């Protein structure tokens, strides 16, 4: 369950960045999760909910942007979405395509709810 560590990492980043804003107003935390990042989005969401429960961010939810695994073939230059984990070029059969996207695991931004009365 490394998603728990990921969730803790996300909370950590939120805490660092929200100092200026008011915690009660964090509505959503947007994260980017690549299809090849080795992270199960549902599991990440579940862990995040569990980990923020006793914090000032209890109302915040994760908004997950899935990033497709896109790769280029070194042999024929074919650029394609990898449907399977196989890094095999569908055009020429060459192995070991270079991943252009799909590896990411990033906190993109925070969405603050301006309708909530802030303490600050």
Partner 1 sequence: MSVVTIERKVLQKNDDLAASNRELFARNGLLVLNIVSSPGAGKTTLLEATIEELKDRARIAVVEGDVQTDIDAQRVARYGVPVVQIVTNGGCHLEAALVAAAVERLDLDQVDLLVIENVGNLVCPANFDLGEAMKVVVLSTTEGADKPLKYPAMFRRAAVLIINKVDLLPYVNVDVEEIKRNAQHINPKLVVFETAATARLGITEWCDWLVARLAAGHA
Residues of this chain that bind Zn ion (CB under 5 A): 73, 75-76, 78, 89, 91-92, 94
* 37 binds partner 1, rule: CB under 8 A: yes
d(CA 34, CA 62): 15
If we measure between CA atoms, which residue out of 50, 10, 46, 12 comes closest to residue 30? 10
Regarding 64 and contact with partner 1 (CB under 8 A), the answer is: no
Site residues for partner 1, window 69-98 (CB under 8 A)? 84-88, 95-96
Tell me how far apart the alpha carbons of residues 33 and 15 are, in angstroms, rounded to a whole number. Answer: 20
Closest CA to 87 of 96, 79, 78: 96
User: Quick check: 5 binds partner 1 (CB under 8 A)?
Assistant: yes
Of the two residues 38 and 77, which places its CB atom closer to partner 1 in the complex?
A: 38
Decide if 110 contacts 28 (C-beta within 8 A).
yes
- Which of Zn ion, partner 1, none lies near 10, with the C-beta cut-off 5 to 8 A by kind? partner 1
Task: Tell me whether residue 46 or residue 87 sits nearer to Zn ion (CB atom).
Answer: 87
């Amino acid at each position: 369950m490394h998603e728990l560590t990921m969730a803790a990492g996300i909370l950590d980043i939120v805490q660092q960045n929200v100092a200026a804003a008011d915690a009660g107003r964090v509505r959503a935390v947007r994260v980017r999760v690549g299809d090849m990042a080795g992270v199960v989005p549902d599991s990440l969401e579940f862990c995040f909910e569990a980990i923020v429960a006793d914090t000032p961010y209890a109302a915040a939810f994760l908004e997950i942007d899935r990033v497709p695994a896109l790769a280029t073939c070194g042999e024929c230059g074919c650029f394609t979405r990898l449907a399977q984990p196989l890094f095999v070029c569908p055009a020429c059969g060459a192995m070991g395509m270079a991943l252009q996207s799909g590896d990411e695991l990033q906190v993109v931004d925070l969405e603050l709810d301006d309708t909530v009365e802030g303490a600050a």
